[in-house]
Amino acid sequence: MITFGIMTLNFESEASYIYQIASRSHSFGIECYHFLPSTINPLTNQVQGRRFDNKEQRWVEDEFPIPSLIYDRCFYGDDEHSKQCIPIVSWLKSREDSTFLGFGLPNKLDLYETLSHSSLAPYLPLSQAIGDSSDVVNALKKQKRIILKPINGSQGFGIYYLKKNEKSIHVKTEKNKKIISRIFPNESKLCQWLQSLLNYRPYLLQPYLELSNNDSQPFDIRILLQKDEQGLWVERGMGIRVGNTGGLLSNLSAGGTVNDFPSWSSTLSLVNKEYICNELNFITTNLPHILEKEILPLFEIGIDIGVAKNGALWILDVNSKPGRKVIVKTKPDLQETLFLAPLLYGKYLTDTDHKERKSYYEKTLYH
């Protein structure tokens, strides 16, 4: 049988989704396992993890060789366990006898550099690395309003909005579904705070874009793309994420809500609707192929598209380990397809010769 391992940083992460995949694996001739990178014995290459028992339809503790197929659903943080697992996953990606469904994407800045030399460059907000706090102060003098994002961030964590007023600087972020504001009386006080932030993790800087609806709620379009059982990219669905009034984030983890795309687009004029749909089609058709040409093979990507007040579309984020909540909420009948997709694509990889996928690219670890 094909050995298929789902890899996470803890056994509670996406437990329901992983169970649903595993419960369908046996009918495809697949033995399904669930493990953490840190449970691999480097001397024996044996893994202490869980095997799905098809007869009893449950996980059982087991020791097993490293699976031949690996579905990486590890989401790294700043904790010690994440730091321990990153080099292990790096080593796994370099092995000749293990194939990852997708190799992931580099950090936001490297991804920006890649896409900025492609046909999608016009859709990218200008992004620059921050060396120190003076870079932020200088940008504020020119632009008045900017956004700071962690280079390795996800789910909207650690994003800050800065606005330069006549005598002060307003900083805003969202934590635990609450909007937190702070006023700095001068640049010196702002720089003290900024330097402590930048010392903790690397950030990038972008201009602030008006990406809210008429109710001052941030919103964006989330699109899920996956490869099917023939290795071809397909669009699974798209939905509208709407955040809190006056907030920065539309992420569901930050308290955002979901609307279906047809209902939202029906409020647009025919000209605007046609324009936006054509633009979205151009992005979704080209993005996967640009990424795979410049980086490494992927299995799935989530794309977040912002729509500005003037109708311009902006690629806000691309994620190689996307969630499925937005798509399931707008298309509940798609759940079965999403549970089967990793298994069908894994079987496709096993049935075809894809040795070129084995090359290792360490920049893809974080996403």
Span 231-281, pLDDT tens digits:
999 999 999 998 887 777 667 666 678 999 999 999 989 999 999 999 999
Side chain identity at residue 146, one-letter code? I
Residues in CB range of 182: below 8 A, 6 or more apart: 170, 171, 172, 193
Residue 212 has what DSSP assignment?
B
CB atoms within 10 A of CB 44: 9
In terms of DSSP bridges, do strands 69-72 and 99-100 run parallel, antiparallel, or are they unpaired? parallel
- Give Cα separations from 320 to 104, 153, 197, 301, 307 (angstroms): 5, 13, 26, 4, 22
Lowest mean pLDDT among 7-21, 135-149, 192-206, 345-359: 345-359
Q: Which residue has the higher pLDDT, 325 or 355?
A: 325
- 100, two tokens: 């990852």
Give the pLDDT of residue 250.
65
Whether 364 shows a pLDDT value over 70: the answer reads no
* pLDDT above 70 coverage of the chain, percent: 93
Q: Cα–Cα distance between 363 and 110 in angstroms, integer? A: 8
Mean pLDDT of 121-149: 93
CB atoms within 10 A of CB 5: 24
277-304 pLDDT, tens digit each? 999 999 999 999 999 998 889 999 999 9
Q: Roughly what angle, to the nearest 10 degrees, separates helices 133-143 and 187-200?
A: 130
Mean pLDDT of 12-41: 97
Enumerate helices (H) and strands (E) in the chain, giving the number of each.
9, 18
138-161 pLDDT, tens digit each? 999 999 999 999 998 776 678 999
* pLDDT above 90 coverage of the chain, percent: 74
Mean pLDDT of 8-28: 97
